[in-house]
Amino acid sequence: MRRLRIVAAGVVLVALLPFALTIAYLVVNPISTLMLWRWVTGERVERVWVPIEDVSPVLVRTVIASEDARFCSHWGVDLQEIQAAIARADDEIEEARGASTIPMQTAKNLFLWNSRSFIRKGLELPLALWLDLVLSKRRLMEIYLNIAEWGPDGTFGIAAGARRAFRIDPGQIDADQAALLAVMLPNPHRRDAGRPGPGLRRLANRLEARTVSEGPDIVACLRLGR
């Protein structure tokens, strides 16, 4: 019985750890579980943390337009987007966005693993709500940009992604480059913003046009420069 209690206490502590870490991430710059795994297994990891104020505002707006258009208005989980995802399987750019919000993707990257399992999704939802409650939208976006994969072979964070694709710093990204990077995000192992094929270029052009109309609200939400 005593051993069972110890095991149960350990499980509870592990389950609560992400909620405690989220509070630390108000000031501590985190790494993702995938980055940690690659370090443990001796694989390459390239990531240089960059503050959001040093990232081109057009890149931030474009990523939000691509990944989570209602990022500034929902509480971490977008129920409207989940319902709508079923009805748009024929739209490539919308399919790329899916129903996963930026807080949900951040929760997965920080605390969970890559899979399409219902277990992972079930864990992802409360963590996304907690992240959105504790962290500001600006801080959430800053973390997401710095832990997402932006290319193969251990390329993490927008600084490494921008340098790999265009040999520039993230503050120098223009609207065209931002669209290419954003549409690459759903599959950075098969899509290359630095060498886009016709399909990727077409998706980027459509996203760039849509970002123009969605930009002002995002500027206000994240206190971005124009």
Domains of the chain: 2-222 (1.10.3810.10)
Instruction: State the amino acid at position 44 in one-letter form.
Output: R
Mean pLDDT of the chain: 85
Instruction: Give the predicted TM-score (pTM) of the model.
Output: 0.86
Which residues contact residue 203 at a Cβ distance below 8 angstroms, ignoring those fewer than 6 apart? 92, 93, 96, 183
Least confident of 5-9, 113-117, 188-192: 5-9
> Using CB atoms within 10 A of its CB, is residue 186 exposed (0-12), middle (13-18) or buried (19+)?
middle
**What residues contact residue 48 under an 8 Å CB cut-off, 6+ apart?**
157, 159, 160
- Per the CB < 8 A criterion, the answer to whether 178 and 59 are in contact is yes
Q: What is the mean pLDDT of residues 39-48?
A: 94
Is residue 205 scored above 90 in pLDDT? yes
* Selected residue with higher pLDDT from 70 and 99: 70
The pLDDT of residue 80 is: 78
Closest CA relative to residue 76, chosen from 52, 104, 45:
104
Report which listed range, 76-85, 95-104, 204-213, is most confident.
Answer: 204-213
